[in-house]
Structure 1
C-alpha cells in the first residue's frame, strides 16, 4: 500500500519563490502545492486541506494575516508559517492573536524550510 505524501501549500504572489519552494518540497518527498494569494489558498483549504501552509504576508486580494485568521477558524490545528521580507511584521507575529505557528524572514535557506516542515510534519 502506498503511503500518502504530506501536502504543503505554498502561498506567495512571487511566482519564482513559490515555484522554488514547491519544487524543493517535491524533491524532499512532500506534495508541494501553490497559490498566488490568500483567497486562492483559502479556496484550496476548504476543498482539500493541506497538512501545512507556508505563506507570505504581503499579497493582493487576501494577505497572510487574513488567510491565517480564516484558516484557523475552519481548521485550528493546521500549521501556518509566515515567510516575509518585511522585518517589521515580526511585531505582529509576537501578538498572540496572530496565532501563526512559525515565522521565517526572507531571504531564508532551503535548509531552514526543510527544518521547519519537518518540525510540523515529522
Structure 2
C-alpha cells in the first residue's frame, strides 16, 4: 500500500519581502508548501479561500495590521496554529489580550533554528 504524506501548507503574512523570501526558502527546503501575502488584508483573504496548517503573521503591516488580522482569522478558524512575528515590543505590550489568541510570539530578529523548532512543534500539535 502506498501511503502519501500530506504536504504541510504554511501561509506567511509579512510586508517585508526579505522575510517572506527567507521563510519561503527555509520551508521549501523542508518540503513544506508556502503561500505568502504582503499585508494583513491579503493574508486574511487567503485564509478564507484556502486551507493552511500554520500561519506566520507579522504585526506591523499596511492595510490591515497583524492584530486585526489575527482577530479576523480567529473568527473564521479558532484552531489554526498562528505564530506572530514582530520587531515592535510596544505593539505586543499594547495588545497582550488579543495576542493571547496566537500560539506563539517570536521577536525579530530571530534565530532561524529556534523559529523552525517553534513551527515544527505547532505542526506536531495540530496533527
- Normalised to the residue count of structure 1, the TM-score between the two structures is 0.92
**Structure 1 counterpart of 2:58:** 56
**Structure 1 counterpart of 2:31:** 29
Which of the residues 104, 107, 114 maps onto 1:105? Answer: 107
Count of residue pairs brought into register by the alignment: 121
Higher Rg of the two aligned structures? 2
Task: Return the alpha-carbon distance in structure 2 between the equivalents of residues 121 and 48 of structure 1.
Answer: 17
Quickly say closer, same or farther: Cα 1:92–1:2, change in 2 above 3 A.
farther
> 1:77 offset after TM fit, Å?
0.1
**Structure 1 counterpart of 2:69:** 67
- Normalised to the residue count of structure 2, the TM-score between the two structures is 0.88
Task: Return the alpha-carbon distance in structure 2 between the equivalents of residues 25 and 113 of structure 1.
Answer: 11
Which aligned segments of 4 or more residues in structure 1 are displaced greater than 4 angstroms? none
Cα-to-partner distance string for 1:26-83 (whole Å, 9 max, x where unaligned): 1112112111011111111111121111111000011111110111001000111110
RMSD over aligned Cα atoms? 1.3
2:12–2:37 contact (8 Å) kept in structure 1: yes
In structure 2, the gaps of 5 or more residues are: none
In structure 1, the gaps of 5 or more residues are: none
